[in-house]
A and B are shown apart, each in its own frame.
Chain A
Amino acid sequence: MNSHRKRDHGYGARRVLPAAAAVLALASALAACSNASPDPAAGGDDRGAITFATGKDTSGNLQKQVDTWNAAHPNEKVTIVELPASADDQLKQLQQNAQVKSDAYSVLGLDVVWTAQFAANRWIDEIPASTDTSGLLTSAIESAKYRGTLYAVPWQTNGGLLFYRTDLLTAAGITTAPATWAQMQDACAKVKALPQGKDVSCYAGQFDKYEGLVVNFAEAVQSAGGRVFDEQGNPTVDAPQAKAALTWLVSAFNDGTIPKAAITYKEEDGRKAFQDGTLVFLRQWPYVWDLANKTDGSSKVAGKFAVAALPGLNGPGSSTLGGLNLAVSSFGKNKATARDFITYLTGEEAQRANLLATSTAPTRTSLYADAALQKQFPYLPYLQKSLESAVARPKAVHYGDVSAAIQNAIAPVIAGDTDAATALTALQANLKQLTAQ
């Protein structure tokens, strides 16, 4: 791959552009100059059959959308290539295909934390500057940039919400959702004083030692007014806010606010506890809404809960941003078709259909204000609020190293084996070293 370094990206030899698609093609020629295609002459603005590599199409809606596209573009057909369900396996497979420069995938569905890695390795092409990104959530757009350049288009997004038991809170005489951790703990104390609150625990999130711990730790730090990384990408976990956040988590574990078992909780364990009625508050993704509202007997809390924005130390908290961005593989063929297909999937109509079919959070702001959609998904306004203040995880090329460092530092603290101050000082030094480029 040594030709990449020498290639002058951005100002290379331009090609003669077909007048019909001048704007698009100009941008694509720019992209072609910086891409790492084995044969830069091919693919840049070619059209034809492409593939779309992403996780399973759970509702069949994606296939429907692809069918619609294929009917309208008989010479530019799209085939879905299903990746495994687990995010780690998806990343592995995308990396492997990029490492051998395979042209098997044209459009890639990338988790927000992978974008930097794929961009820095020149595995994906720049998104042409002409692409219209207005109307997309700002925080989601940020997650698709590397060093200020857009490399992907946000397709789906995700933010944390506070699920809470309205029946228990009402019985305890509380009418509004807590905005701070202290209010949340007060509410719990009142609920626990009730006869029906005897066996419930107060709060849980995702505290098992995996990516979820990074998400929950970052949210705690943000909700205490700090940041894991500042705007310039420098680690700031030695700041007092980070210490306050971690200290709160530890004390919550120690005083039983968070049940001890929560150090093994991933998303599904917490959902089980909440659906069994053993939790008053749960930090979760919006997907729980549908499942916990099932009235077939599987959920004991159907209709007895609501959502709110995450609470914080002194005021409203802040979520970590999740989601999926679409990018054009540098090694795929027919990149013009690939770009058009991305524009199609991220358009308002496609996103509305996707929300209706899969209840996946859209990246188009206009959909959150849609009255019909709000009626069907009552959590949308809270989700939008969560997303507007959401913070993306660091755009590190070796994101896995950063994630592992945070997990290795935080897990022993909440397990009670290390104290917060020592762990954070060590983590700060560690992150500094990892992000020094």
Chain B
Amino acid sequence: MTASTLPATGRPRGTRSRVRAAAQYLGIAVIVVYCLAPFFWMVVSAFRRPTDQFQTTPLPDPWSIANLQAVFEPSVGFQRALLNSILVAGTTTAVTLLIGTATAYALARLDFPFKRTAAAIVIATSMFPGISMVVPLLKLFTDIGWINTYQAMIAPSMSFALPLAVWNLTAYLRQLPPELEQAAMIDGCTRMQAFRRIILPLAAPGVFTTAIITFIAAWNEFIIALSMVNKKDMQTATVAISRFTGAHGFDTPYGTQMAAAVVVTIPLVIAVLIFQRRIVSGLTAGGVK
């Protein structure tokens, strides 16, 4: 296993290690509570009655699924919006990883002129305030007929995610010893084979972490999805949430929005739990080497 610095995995070593183990569990508890308390409030708010949205009791009184029902009311089209989100975020993640890994490999492993400049340009593209790029992009996509298409959401999401993906993957790849693939190449592997069979499994924790980060960023993207698409059956989940209003305009359907936020967060948690296995197994595969 990985966590061998924890004395608990080895033989017992007396009080000091027990204190340390206790401190560790306390640390875990503090951090988990810190992360989950606001989320707990979100869930609780989601299960109050819509008219009880101002309540501050620790648990809903009474419980109600009216907010959830409001989220999945047919006129909202939330199921369809979730599907759109999965499609957009999934495609964005796949393509970003594919071309991001290629670029990261070049930056981490190859020697070529202007490498520093190339890396600088990649990161510079995530330095401009995103909100100022909406109008030019809208103009561009209107001109090339991309309004109301999936690529109008995927391409920007991908470009927003690429700089982080490339830099991250580069950092992870550089952490791996180049001798491994050099040895494989001496053994007759091509560069591509060496990359696929040796480097990629070893770098799996980094690759899957990058995948999670990219997926979450694309899943939560709002401004572009809002501006580039105006057909209801093309809207993503975050856009659908932004359209929840109360019956009267001024009343904020806070509970319904929280219910929707819980609904869009859950798939991400499931995705993390699935990727999580890959992270661990990738690591084990690396440990064998």
Contacts and interface: CB of A to CB of B under 8 A. Distances in A.
| Touching chains A and B, CB distance < 8 Å | yes
B249 A298 contact: no
Nearest to B254: A268
A59 to B, nearest CB: 6
A243 interface: no
B49 A96 contact: no
Given A104-B147, A268-B252, A291-B251, A276 B54 contact: yes
Nearest to B139: A100
Interface stretch (B116-124, B152-160, B162-170, B224-232): B224-232
B138 A96 contact: yes
B245 interface: yes
A55 B54 contact: no
A255 interface: no
Contacts of B226: 84, 89, 93
Contacts of B231: 81
Nearest to B48: A298
Interface in A199-239: none
A312 B44 CA distance: 42
B245 A55 contact: yes
A96 B245 contact: no
Interface string B17-54: 00000000000000000000000000000000101101
B75 interface: yes
Contacts of B230: 51, 53, 81, 104-105
B208 to A, nearest CB: 34
A287 B135 contact: no
A97 B147 CA distance: 11
B149 interface: no
A96 B134 contact: yes
Given A84-B226, A294-B51, A298-B52, A358 B245 contact: no
Given A84-B226, A89-B226, A275-B54, A58 B242 contact: no
B138 A287 contact: no
B227 A93 contact: yes
Contact of B75 (A63, A296, A298): A63
Interface string A351-366: 0000000111000000
B135 A100 contact: yes
Nearest to A269: B54
A285 B250 contact: yes
B182 interface: no
Contacts of A59: 247
A56 B243 contact: yes
Contacts of A104: 147, 230
B247 A358 contact: yes
B41 to A, nearest CB: 16
Nearest to B62: A297
A408 interface: no
Interface string B213-244: 00000000000001100111000000100111
A99 B49 contact: no
Contact of A86 (B51, B54, B242, B251): B242
Contact of A296 (B51, B227, B242, B249): B51
A82 B232 contact: yes
A272 interface: yes
A359 B245 contact: no
Interface string A59-88: 110010000000000000000011111100
Contact of B242 (A60, A84, A97, A285): A84
A132 interface: no
Nearest to A285: B250
A214 to B, nearest CB: 15
A89 B242 contact: yes
B230 to A, nearest CB: 5
A290 B248 contact: yes
Given A58-B246, A268-B252, A359-B248, A298 B51 contact: yes
B244 A85 contact: yes
Contacts of B139: 99-100
A271 B134 CA distance: 36
Given A81-B230, A268-B250, A298-B49, A56 B245 contact: yes
Given A56-B245, A84-B226, A102-B147, 5 more contacts: A55-B249, A58-B246, A83-B243, A287-B250, A287-B251
Interface of A: 51, 53, 55-60, 63, 81-86, 89, 93, 96-97, 99-100, 102, 104-105, 267-268, 271-272, 275-276, 285, 287, 290-291, 294, 296-299, 358-360
Interface of B: 49, 51-52, 54, 75, 134-135, 138-139, 142, 147, 226-227, 230-232, 239, 242-252
